Structure 1
């Protein structure tokens, strides 16, 4: 195992144990639940946007699943908190592209930060959905939260 592979594996293990952003967000603008019926992983992602609905003020989640899905959710939380909503959706798209790469190429570390730790997961088709699960929930939550408030 190369030094970078060992580092990436450690990032995943660390985030699966010390989960960033896990918990409730009672004043969320939107939430979305995703379930992977193949393995039972599940996550609910909640977001609160700024008053202009252009930036993610807070993101929180609750879920249960394998170390890959929980670590992916934790890393995602770190990457999108405080970001503009369009940037968060761009990150989700870049993460999806990386997971579809089947381990080929080099992901953009500057864009994805610790998210590149999941590049190796792309070689294991059964694990791709585990890593992508929270990102799908985030996309749905952000899109819903950006809708104008109904009064």
Structure 2
């Protein structure tokens, strides 16, 4: 199996069987993200503990396979990380999309690195970035959910 085929399988698995696509009871943070150019929309929810460690991350919403798989991969990656570590991963993902990433950075992205070729599909970049952009906005200027 070549690398591109493996990446397609990872993307399909996260789209068809997302681990984190569910509503969350009592999230610490909740923010809606929308991609107006194609209609993708998510509501991202996260729980952080007293040490700013992300203990859970979920999403609801609808959109293309890339947007849904990307946010599911992101949730996988950031659970157990601190807020600052999650923001650093979002920056790496952003640089990956801009083709400005090192091999070491790609390793840190784990399965999310499967979206590296999206950089060659400009119309799909916003789809892949939706969850990551929403998380960055949420964690950079958080308002706790009441």
Q: CA RMSD, aligned part only?
A: 1.9
Match of residue 122 from structure 2: 125
5 Å-filtered alignment, 1:2-151, equals: 3-52=2-51, 54-101=52-99, 106=103, 108-145=105-142
Q: Distance in 2 between matches of 1:109 and 1:118?
A: 10
**Structure 2 unaligned regions, length at least 5:** none
Give TM-score scaled by structure 1 length.
0.88
**Structure 1 unaligned regions, length at least 5:** none
Q: Is the 8 A contact 1:46 1:141 kept in 2?
A: no
Give TM-score scaled by structure 2 length.
0.90
Q: Is the 8 A contact 2:74 2:132 kept in 1?
A: yes
Q: Displacement, 1:140?
A: 2.0
Q: Distance in 2 between matches of 1:107 and 1:98?
A: 11
